[in-house]
Homo-oligomer: A and B are copies of this chain.
Amino acid sequence: MDTRTPPPERSPWLPFESRRRARDEKREAVLRTAVQLFLEQGYHRATLNEVADRLNITKPALYNYFRSKEDILFECWTIGQERVEDRIAEIAAADESGLVTLQMLVRAYAAIMASTFGASLVRFNVADLSEPNQKATLAGKRRIDRAFRNAIKQGIADGSVKPCDVKLTAFAILGALNWIGHWYKPGGELSPEQIANDFASRLTADIAKRPAKKPAEKKATKPVRKK
C-alpha cells in the first residue's frame, strides 16, 4: 500500500527530505510543473491539486508563491515572452542587414517555440487571463510582430529583401513559427536547432533578394547561452 511512484520531475520538495532550498528555486519549480501540466491537459483541466501533487506538496502551499491560478498562468506566459524579447534585443543590437536580421529572428523564435515556456505563448488562451494581463500579452505580441515587420521593412530598404506586403509576409512567417508550438514534441526526430535552422532559410527563401543561400550559422553546434 505504500509503493508510491516517484514524482515525474525532480522536485525541491523531496518527501521526508530536506526542504531548505531558496524560495525562488521553488517558485520556478512550481512554474515548470504548471506549464507542463497546462500544456498536457489544458489550463482548465489541470488542477492546482495536481500541480501540487507532482511537487510533493499540497495545494495551499502553492499560495505561498502565487496569488492565484491565473497568476501562475500569466507568469508562464511572461517567462516565454521575456525569452523572446531578450533575443530580439540581442539581434537588434547586432545591426545586420534586414534579411539577416529576419533570419536571425526566425531562428531564435523557432528555437524558443520548441520549448515549454515558448509554446505557452501560443497554446494558452488569452481569454483565461484577467483584463490587465490580457492587455500585457497583447502588447507583447505586438512587440514581436513589430520586430519581424521592422526587419522586413529594413530589408526592403537596404535591398536585401524583395518588395512585398510587409504585414502579410510577417503573418505568414510568424504563423509557420507559432505552429511549431503546436506540433513539436521533445522526443521527435528533429532537434529544436535543426528546425530553427531549416525554418530560417525556408521562411525567407521567397523574399530574399540574393539566390537564397542558407543564412550564416555562426557556431551552429554550440549556440551561445546568454547570461
Interface positions of A (Cβ within 8 A of B): 40-42, 44-45, 125, 127-128, 165, 168-169, 171-180, 182-183, 190, 195, 198-199, 202-203, 205-206, 212
Contacts and interface: CB of A to CB of B under 8 A. Distances in A.
A75 to B, nearest CB: 19
Nearest to A168: B198
A127 B41 contact: yes
Contact of A202 (B128, B168, B199): B168
Contacts of A198: 165, 168
Nearest to A174: B179
The oligomer's copy count stands at 2
A31 B59 CA distance: 37
Nearest to A180: B175
A166 to B, nearest CB: 12
A203 B41 contact: no
Given A175-B177, A176-B175, A176-B176, A202 B169 contact: yes
A108 to B, nearest CB: 17
User: Which among A179, A180, A202 has the highest number of chain B CB atoms within 10 Å?
Assistant: A179
Contacts of A205: 206
Contacts of A44: 44, 128
